[in-house]
Structure 1
Amino acid sequence: MNLRNGLILLVIILAVVGAIWMGGNKGETEDGAPAVKAPEESTAKSEEAPSSSPQESSDVEQPQKGFRAPNFELKTLDGKTVELAKNGGKPSFINIWASWCPPCKMEMPFIQEAYEKYGDRVNFLMVNLTETDDLDKMKDYLSSKGYTFPVLLDEKGEVADRYGVVSIPVTYAVDDKGVIIHKHMGAMSRGQIFDLMEQLTKEK
């Protein structure tokens, strides 16, 4: 009898040990939570993550929203040198245009109006595609309309190339840190321009 009881006890012990061993290999912790993922699963997840963070994107120059605006340095009509990166701690409004472009002329009165109101808080950089424009006709056009905003001369097409310009007008709104916050292809309405001004000058 004692031997039989001993055998039964041994079987029970073995059964308990086996159950514990099997439970430890089900991929769960003691409280039932999923076990740590296998290395290959973790690797797959990391490959699906974005290649760069928003902060990293803002350090890369690219003519798209969320990226740092490609820097440029151009002469103005009155011979001054203007560099985008030297913004004086202010946001910038970049408009790429030419005097032979009808849609460009459509938005000019609204840009002049915005310049008169926001010119002390926003850098207006009216980049003329001088390489494809007639300088004298462009000057006559500005004078006849009474436009006083700063005009930058892209005489070698450097800005056009750097910004990948395929049609004009095109406008970029750049914050005080040099990051593009808005891009608009085509002529803008007065409302669109003034909404953009409010966005650029709103208090942080």
Structure 2
Amino acid sequence: MNLRNGLIMLVIILAVAGAVWMGGSKGETSDEAPVKGPEESTAKSEEAPSSPPQDSSAVEKPQQGFRAPNFKLRTLDGKTVELTKNGGKPSFINLWASWCPPCKMEMPHIQEAYEKYGDRVNFLMVNLTGTDDLDKMKEYLSSEGFTFPVLLDEKGEVADRYGVMSIPMTYAVNEEGVIIHKQMGAMSREQIFDLMEQLVKTK
């Protein structure tokens, strides 16, 4: 009888523990929007590899310390922009979509940074057009008064090349084309302006 009571008690404890765990999971929120699959839910920066190869800056890879994968995209106003043709300036690459709430959270801060640093930093706001609604995206930009350059990733080539699983995703690239910072998730105003200062100091 004691053994039976002990087993019943064990089952009850396990059931309660499971219910508590499930309840905690339901309360989580995310500052990233998934594109192709689940991703960690907290915004975070990526540290450089502990022991990157000595020639890492010559290898294209969407990671800090490596050369940013090149791309060429059309802008909303019909121009063509290529990452490697940077005019000797560092670049700020942000992958986003108009249906993404976390993307919209940081947009006003990016616009403010563009107005202050746009003459020293290339702003490449890469819209995941293949998953977005072009008309709604244009309406959103117009209603908010955003003037930063928007690049159209219509075929998802940049998203694939950079292995994007969630957005927003941001890369800071120095004037030599090497990634000095990678950020997953929405950034605060302070984070964006700190990143701008890092970029202009690399010149």
TM-score exceeds 0.5:
yes
Q: 1:202, CA displacement in angstroms? A: 1.5
CA distance in 2, matches of 1:91, 1:127: 16
User: Take 2:198 and 2:53, find their aligned partners in 1: how far apart are those partners?
Assistant: 26
Q: Tell me what 1:195 maps to.
A: 194
Equivalents in 2 of 1:169, 1:79: separation in Å?
A: 24
- 1:165 corresponding residue in structure 2: 164
User: Which runs of no fewer than 5 residues in structure 1 stay unpaired?
Assistant: 1-49
2:106–2:186 Cα contact (<8 Å) kept: yes
Counterpart residue number, 1:111: 110
Q: Deviations over 1:28-74 (max 9, x none)?
A: xxxxxxxxxxxxxxxxxxxxxx6831xx1000000000000000000
Q: Once superposed, what is the RMSD of the aligned Cα atoms?
A: 1.1
Residue matched to 1:83: 82
TM-score after normalising by structure 1: 0.74
Cross-structure match for 2:23: none
What is the CA deviation profile of residues 47-106 of structure 1, one whole-angstrom value per residue up to 9, with x for unaligned ones? xxx6831xx100000000000000000000000000000000000000000000000000
Residues 175, 202 of structure 2: 8 Å contact kept: no
Contact 2:67/2:179, CA 8 A, preserved across alignment: yes
Q: Which has the higher contact order (CA 8 A, sep 6+)?
A: 2
TM-score normalised by L of structure 2: 0.74
1:114-133 superposed matches below 5 A: 114-133=113-132
Give 3-state SS (helix, strand or coil) of 1:131's partner.
helix
Give the equivalent residue in structure 1 for 2:144: 145
Per-residue CA distance 1:103-127 (angstroms, 9 max, x = gap): 0000000000000000000000000
Which residue identity does 1:115 align to in structure 2?
Answer: Y
- Superposition misfits of 4+ residues, deviation over 2 angstroms: none
Q: 1:175 to 1:100 in 2, by over 3 A?
A: same
Percent identical among aligned pairs is 83
Q: Give the whole-Å Cα distance in 1 for the aligned partners of 2:87 and 2:142.
A: 28
Alignment partners' CA distance in 1, 2:147 and 2:138: 11
- Call closer, same or farther: CA 1:106–1:59 in 2, change over 3 Å: same
The count of corresponding residues between Structure 1 and Structure 2 is: 153
